[in-house]
Structure 1
Amino acid sequence: MGAFGVALILGLNALVGYDLLHQREETLARAREDSAAMALVLEQHATDSLSGVAKILAGVVEVLAVRADAWERGDADVFALLRRQATLSPLIRAILVVSADGKLIHDTQTLEPAGIDLSDRDYLMAHRDRLVPGGANAVFVGNPVRGRTSNTWFISMSRRLEAPDGRFAGVLVAVMEPMAFRSFYQTLPLSGDAVVTLYHADGPVIARFPDHDSHIGLSAHHLPLFTTLLKQARAGTELLDSAGDGPRRILSYRASAEMPLAVTVSSSRDAVLVPWWSKAMTLAVADLAGTLVLAAMTLALLCEAGRRERAMADLQDSERALRDSQQRLIQDIAARHRIEAELIAAKQVSDAANRAKTQFLANMSHELRTPLNAVIGFAEALESGIFGQMSAKQTEYVGDIRKSGQHLLSLINDILDTTKIESGKYVLHQEDLPVDDLIGECLRQMGPLAVEKGVTLTAALPGSLPILHADARAVRQILLNLLSNAVKFTPPGGRIVVEADRVARSLRLRVSDTGIGIPAIELDQVMEPFHQVDNSHTRRYAGTGLGLPLVKSLVELQDGRFVLSSVLGRGTTATVLFPPSRLRNRSEPLRALKRAQPAPV
């Protein structure tokens, strides 16, 4: 009986040991498979990202080849073209055009390119000396370098530009942001110590997570990836010691067949085996408990049958506890899935509420304008004396009713226009507009308010301004909102100037005042709907906070740009820029608005 008990104990330990070893190998195998799959996904992501940039460059090269102004330094049309193309990929920080002698011709980050010499850059020398495999239409991907003016890391992708006779004319360069890869890697469901690294085929690190900043640009030519692995196969998974990432790591690597890139995903084998160790400890404890139980049972058989029954009861209790633990784990997983589903449903409800809010505001604005127009109309009729003469106090009160109604109607119109723009239902009715006449009309409309406030309102217009092709109501609303803000926030004795001129082939409208100004930290916030500067100087001014956001939306809806600058206590300048595509020469016939003689204000 004793020999049978010893044999049973040895058999149990051997079975537990075999099962642990088998599970250990399965854990490592799954880790290798997951690492290889992740490397495949990341390599495809990097290849597709760079391929997308290459396609953008190919299209720009074709356009520049047929444009006569492609080599006019800082040309606004070429600048606009390059900026539009730069927005097509989140990787692109800037697009440059560099001449054959290394001079910067175009830079999407500034209309006036810096006067720097780029003749020593690798992309210029590679295309100039025809070192890029694949001929003139091939792209060159450079190693990570620091920008000379920005002092930040970037990688470049370039294409050769040729003159009509085939001579080397320069390069088109896409300056790409390595942090875009690092930010993408940060979103991946990686294990605790997993390391993702994107290498250039020449060896330098392009992006890494974690520790991106301390590794970017470092050469990895001495690592086994470049000395051995990539020479043996384009992809694979190995178990090796890494001086950079720590000992005993599972490394999956994959090189791109289309771009000079390689991706690695590595995890510490010890970290991979943490769940296995936890289970091994549990099984070891269970095995020890079983051994003790078997020993106790053996002794009980030798001593008395009662001790065997108690030992069996202890074993059954242990099994029940293990089942309870498993059930709790299943319940925890189900609860987590339920919470995720509730979060998704809450987001859908929030989106629906936002859409309902926009529709509600639009409907209410329409419904409120009808009775409000009636109130204003009756107030104007009473004020004009059509229903009989009123006393001075009655006339004053009726005037207050009319002014308040007009103010409320202006606020409702702003809300309605804002909701139309948000919902994409704002329709532009474009026509040819004489800018000086439109400015004169707005000045005449705001003149009485400026006189009542004690503010000087003047205009500085050149002798000849171009015709603007735009929506007359929208442009008039832009000017009136800017003038209304200027009058509102300019104290008595202040001055407001309206200017219009040509700058960089664009039309610039500018409204400057000597009002209370806006703090620098608030300039971005006043562009948000329903926001006003919150300090002791501005709380006394009424308004919804929709004026500047509405101006910005209306300007951008007509391909323009709105810029706001201010100095606290000294005044504010609002600038509206309309692109050359919306301007017409004075010699062309007007297609809509009739010219009128402006009256002095």
Structure 2
Amino acid sequence: MIRRWRGAGRNGTGMLEAAIRNRTTRVAASGHRLLLRSMTALASIAIAPPALAAPANTRADGFLTTLTEPHLAVSFAFVAGSAIFVLTTAVFYRMELRNWRAREAGMRAELAELSSAHDRAEILIGAESQIVVSWESRDAQPRIEGDPTTLGTGIGGRRILAFGSWLGAADASAIEAALQRLRERGEAFRMTLKTNAGRFIDAEGRALGGRAILRLRDVTGERAELMKVKREFKRIHDELERLRTVLDSVDQPVWLRDGDGKLAWANAAYLAAIEAESVEDARGRKLELLDSAARAQAAQQREAGKRFAARTAAIVIGKRRMLDVTETPSPGGAAGVAIDVSEVEQLRTDLNREMEAHVRTLDQLPTAVAIFDASQHLTFHNTAYRQLWGLDQPFLDSGPADNEILDRLRGMRKLPEQADFRSWKTDVLSAYRSIEPRETWWHLPDGRTLRVVANPNPNGGLTYLFDDVSDHIKLESRFNALLRVQGETLDTLAEGVAVFGSDGRLRLSNQAFARLWRLPEALTTDNPHLDAVIAHCQQNVPAEEPWAEIRAAVAGGADGRTGFALRMERKDGIVLDCAGQPLPDGAMLLTFIDVTASVNVERALTEKNDALERAAQLRDEFVHHVSYELRSPLTTIIGFTQLLSDETVGALNERQREYAGHIMRSSGALLAIINDILDLASIDTGSLALEPGEIDIRETIEAAVRGLEDRIAESDLHLDITVDETIGSFTGDGKRIRQVLFNLISNAIGFSEAGGRIRVSAQRRDDEIVFSVADQGQGMPEHVAARVFERFESHTGGTTHRGVGLGLSIVRSFVELHGGHVKLESSPGTGTTVTCVFPADGPRRLAAE
């Protein structure tokens, strides 16, 4: 009970006293009631047994007359027992009463101590300006005690917990987050807050006795001043850190030196330049950005209190660079910064080099150039100027005035003849006062014509440009004559020619163009626009597509002009080929050629080709159909021949067996031919699909050879197989690969003589598998080798072998289906070598594509 009311304050103390009194009263009353019940029970026990034991005839005579000695003994025994019970009850009651009184005294002493602690707490709380807020549980309402003026005027009651109303946003967010952690997890905190009025508040939160306690104290006096100093120090420290961060982010080295000239701080660029990890590392290894001479000069300036500035060379990250170094004295040391001007120095060097190059270029120009300053004296001239006027080099190097040069040239009779030379010279020299370039023409006495441009300089003075245009005038005359000849030439052409400028207007056309489109003379002589010409031409070619393409080509910009070619057909049946070609001056040249005759021939050839293709298609369909029809009876013939050869229907004589063998071999050869024809037909129709899988190369070659062992033995040939032991396998259709090898070896057997040798090899080359079959037969000439892969092409090669010409065609088709290629090498007398190259993952790659 004491713990229940601990910390409840003065009101809680009164309530605790009342509870103690109520409990004591209840205990005493309970004891009295127990004693009374015991005595009543004793009396009833003493009286009831005799009454119960007496006979019925004695009850009416009275109590005393009916008692007997046995009855009295029993009654006294009950009375004695009841008395003992009552005495025991009384003793227990007194002992319990003493215990409760002792407990009451202890509770009263603890209550007094709590009251004293409560008074001391109130005195402590009231001794300083503070506010205490407590929460008994997470969802309980806060209890607020203390001086509300601690936080400022107008802030009291529940408004204290509206931190945003009297704190800055950052402080309000911080205390709300800390208070939430205190109430949820009991996490204590302490922080200093600054109110909007500028006062400092010490906030402390902790968990105490299952409660969350928040104490807000006003910080005054020296502590408040200390808080202000701390805040100011933090602000300055943050600004310094921001400044250091900014300096660390710049690319120029920045550093600070102490009073002894030692490195005190440096940014990241400085440390990277000297290849140091930190300032301490730089000081430990005595690394410096500047050399000793530059540091000595900087130290002298620093001791004199002056600013040091110089351009010096330094090693930056192992490279020599030019730096503009500035070191300014500061209290307790100096601050320095270095700016990399290597590029500026390089640009300056390049600029000087460019100026020298320009001077050399001007010396190579045929145009005479002379530059005069604001005082009208010569400052520069090129070789063409000296050669144009024939002036002495020492005279020009002396920087003569412009009027002196004009007077000397007049004396040398190299200036235009003038009736009033003084006025003419004054007019020439007036260009110094002009702000616009001035262009004049000088006709010299020797027959030359000069174009003279006087261009004012930004800083005063003039730049003269003297162009000898005598040859230009002659060339212009020749060009005009050539243009007339060109016009006459164009008029004799049978092709229609028209030139449209970048503005879309007709600049040039010949008579063939006008006749071809029946253009009136007025339309061709007035430089009509392209739209007007097209509007007239559309009467013969009403289709819009060709004219839209012509418009786009003519109207396209300088970068969009491209050549084109198109064909158009007039309503009268004439077919024209139109071609457009952009010209260097931005114009578009159009030519129109009558190709009616060639188109008619082309149409006839096309129709004939279509007929041939249809005939070839009919042939292929016929062969395909006949092959299917032949296969069924041939299979029957082979079956019956096999039945006869096995002598299951009767014995055969030697001649019959020989005939049956001939029938069997011929039927097998015919079946192979039909199967080849069917395969080619399937390839043509695109219905033949490969069944790729992992192929063991050596086993595939051996399987193909097993089907030809009898022919090899009969022809007395030697077969050499060369396969690398580590060649492994590759991806392909095993059945078709065996068929390719079978056809190649069969072809080699057919063209080999008895005793000859056939070589079969396979090798892996990068991502390719290469099969090669070579024989020692007669070979074939080049023109025959070029056609052996075509269908139904057969070459005997001087042997008795002659096939239908399908084997090599099937080989090429199957190899190409695998994504490979076939190569044949042969010449008369050297044999034939056929090489098939397969990609190792051919079908997979083709499927991906």
TM-score (norm 2): 0.30
Higher relative contact order (CA 8 A, sep 6+): 1
Of the two, which has the highest radius of gyration?
Answer: 2
TM-score, with normalisation over the residues of structure 1?
A: 0.42
